[in-house]
């Protein structure tokens, strides 16, 4: 059987192809020369399968899609508290290249606009590092995310540096308020190299999939970004990634995303999929016109809007059965707060009839921290009620099941 997903991607490219509205970015000379008709789409699941259509392997510069990853690198190197002193997390509602700072603190409002990204860029590496050391570090990190060696497009770099008046003025403004302690020209050079890294639509889907998978590379299984950092990055993407179009984007598409002025859009749906679109013509907000249309289609057709309440009706409690003089609580699926609540509520409403209670978690998938704590607490309370608690956990979903004071349920090797 041929997977229908690739055919679907071809179909949505055809649906948006005729729209030639918008303009390619002209303030960077190499971008003004881009073929405006290029069109590509890609998706990579958190399990590492990739589907593409159109010009998905054509390389273009990453531009502002680099900002979430540079933000992740700064959080990794300095921690949230130090980064927060330099850059805020409030949506600016302004254009990406606005000369603006938060009143009072003089921090850039967020790391997704140029002023914030310049401040974040100069946090990479050690104080005194040259701009090439900083950009080399980022090339290495982005390569790990993409799963292949990436490089800076020297022509694009030279072209942007030659006309970087706006970013230079932003960097000088940051220096005037002591928000950067590196030479402003060097900050702009390093940041521009960061923006000039070449990627394909396929690469972007892979990099987005790492974010969707909580920082784990879907291909190598390596933790490339720490989970709390991913949460921070995705939150800022959701609120500020699409600049002064962020509200409309989140309402209509509902996927944390980041656009780049070369025409790329990166989207990451937590727990599910990394998405990428590429088409160079931009709307007034600097976001790809057909890229936006593709994301709208993907979100609607595939039910990817983050605010769609589709998970109603968890079947966490499969059954409670009496077997061999024991009550067996059969639990299944991912165990988060809502799933654990179903189980503990049932145990509280209708206490198990037998004196031995088996928690059969052999069908359980992911268990998050609160899910684990609630299940162990249920075991502890049944134990206090005088029940003998047993655990059947062949997949080791509940490692080291200490239910308090070193007490553990009796582990069953078979039911």
**Positions in the binding site for ligand GLN (CB under 6 A):** 63-64, 96-97, 114, 160, 167, 195, 260-261, 286
In the numeric block, the tokens 């967020």 are attached to 110
The three-class DSSP label of residue 137 is: helix
Minimum CB distance to ligand GLN smaller for 231 or for 285: 285
CB of 62 to ligand GLN, least distance (A): 8
Q: Which of 374, 370, 377, 408 is nearest to 391 (CA)?
A: 408
Minimum CB distance to ligand GLN smaller for 96 or for 141: 96
**Any known ligand binding at 8?**
no
Minimum CB distance to ligand GLN smaller for 68 or for 88: 68
* Encoded tokens for 297: 């289609």
Angle between helices 4-17 and 289-302 (to 10 degrees): 140
**Any known ligand binding at 64?**
yes
**Any known ligand binding at 383?**
no
Minimum CB distance to ligand GLN smaller for 70 or for 212: 70
CB of 161 to ligand GLN, least distance (A): 10
Query: How many alpha carbons lie under 13 Å from residue 256 in its C-beta half-sphere?
Result: 23
* Encoded tokens for 390: 């047993």
CB 109 within 8 A of CB 88: yes
CB of 315 to ligand GLN, least distance (A): 44
CB of 342 to ligand GLN, least distance (A): 45
Q: Which of 392, 393, 379, 310 is nearest to 340 (CA)?
A: 379
CB of 265 to ligand GLN, least distance (A): 11
Query: How many alpha carbons lie under 13 Å from residue 333 in its C-beta half-sphere?
Result: 15
Alpha-carbon torsion (269, 271, 272, 274), positive or negative: positive
360/320 Cα distance (integer angstroms): 10
Alpha-carbon torsion (109, 110, 112, 118), positive or negative: positive
Minimum CB distance to ligand GLN smaller for 208 or for 261: 261
CB of 33 to ligand GLN, least distance (A): 16
Minimum CB distance to ligand GLN smaller for 97 or for 299: 97
The secondary structure of 197-266 as a DSSP string is BEEEHHHHHHHHHHHHTTTB-TTT--B-S-HHHHHHHHHHHHHHTTGGGHHHHHHHT-S-EEE-TTSEEE
CB of 63 to ligand GLN, least distance (A): 3
**Any known ligand binding at 160?**
yes
**Any known ligand binding at 114?**
yes
Minimum CB distance to ligand GLN smaller for 287 or for 330: 287
CB of 240 to ligand GLN, least distance (A): 12
Taking the chain, what is the end-to-end CA distance rounded to the nearest angstrom?
38
Torsion angle of C-alpha atoms 128, 129, 134, 135, degrees rounded to 10:
120
Minimum CB distance to ligand GLN smaller for 268 or for 379: 268
Q: Which residues are annotated as a binding site?
A: 64, 114, 160, 167, 191, 243, 261
Q: Which residues are annotated as a binding site for substrate?
A: 64, 114, 160, 167, 191, 243, 261
């Amino acid at each position: 059987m041929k997977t229908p997903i690739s055919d679907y991607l071809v179909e949505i490219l055809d649906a948006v192809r005729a729209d030639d509205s918008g303009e390619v970015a002209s303030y960077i000379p190499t971008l003004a020369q881009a073929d405006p008709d290029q069109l590509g789409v890609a998706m990579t699941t958190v399990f590492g399968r990739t589907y593409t259509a159109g010009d998905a392997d054509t390389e273009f510069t990453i531009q502002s899609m680099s900002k979430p990853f540079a933000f992740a690198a700064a959080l990794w190197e300095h921690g949230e508290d130090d980064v927060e002193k330099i850059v805020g997390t409030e949506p600016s509602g302004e254009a990406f290249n606005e000369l603006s700072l938060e009143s009072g603190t003089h921090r850039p409002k967020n790391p997704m606009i140029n002023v914030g990204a310049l401040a974040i860029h100069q946090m990479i590496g050690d104080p005194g590092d040259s701009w090439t050391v900083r950009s080399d570090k980022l090339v290495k990190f982005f390569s790990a995310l993409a799963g292949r060696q990436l490089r800076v497009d020297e022509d694009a770099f030279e072209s942007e540096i030659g006309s970087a008046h706006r970013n230079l003025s932003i960097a000088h403004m940051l220096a005037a308020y002591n928000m950067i302690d590196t030479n402003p020209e060097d900050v702009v050079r390093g940041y521009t190299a960061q923006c000039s890294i070449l990627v394909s639509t396929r690469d972007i889907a892979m990099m987005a999939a790492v974010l969707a998978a909580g920082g784990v590379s879907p291909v190598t299984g390596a933790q490339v970004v720490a989970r709390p950092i991913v949460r921070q990055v995705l939150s800022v993407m959701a609120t500020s990634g699409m600049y002064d179009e962020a509200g409309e984007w989140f309402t209509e598409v509902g996927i944390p995303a980041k656009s780049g002025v070369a025409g790329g859009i990166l989207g990451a749906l937590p727990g599910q999929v990394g998405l990428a679109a590429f088409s160079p013509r931009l709307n007034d907000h600097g976001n790809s016109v057909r890229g936006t249309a593709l994301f709208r289609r993907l979100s609607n057709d595939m039910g990817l809007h983050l605010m769609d309440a589709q998970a109603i009706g968890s079947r966490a409690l499969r059954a409670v059965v009496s077997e061999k003089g024991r009550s067996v609580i059969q639990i299944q699926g991912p165990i988060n707060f809502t799933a654990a609540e179903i189980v503990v509520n049932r145990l509280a409403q209708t206490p198990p009839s037998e004196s031995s209670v088996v928690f059969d978690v052999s069908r359980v998938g992911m268990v998050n921290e609160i899910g684990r704590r609630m299940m162990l607490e249920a075991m502890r309370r049944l134990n206090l009620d005088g029940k003998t608690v047993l655990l059947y956990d062949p997949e080791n979903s509940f490692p080291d099941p200490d239910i308090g004071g070193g007490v553990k349920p009796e582990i069953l090797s078979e039911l």
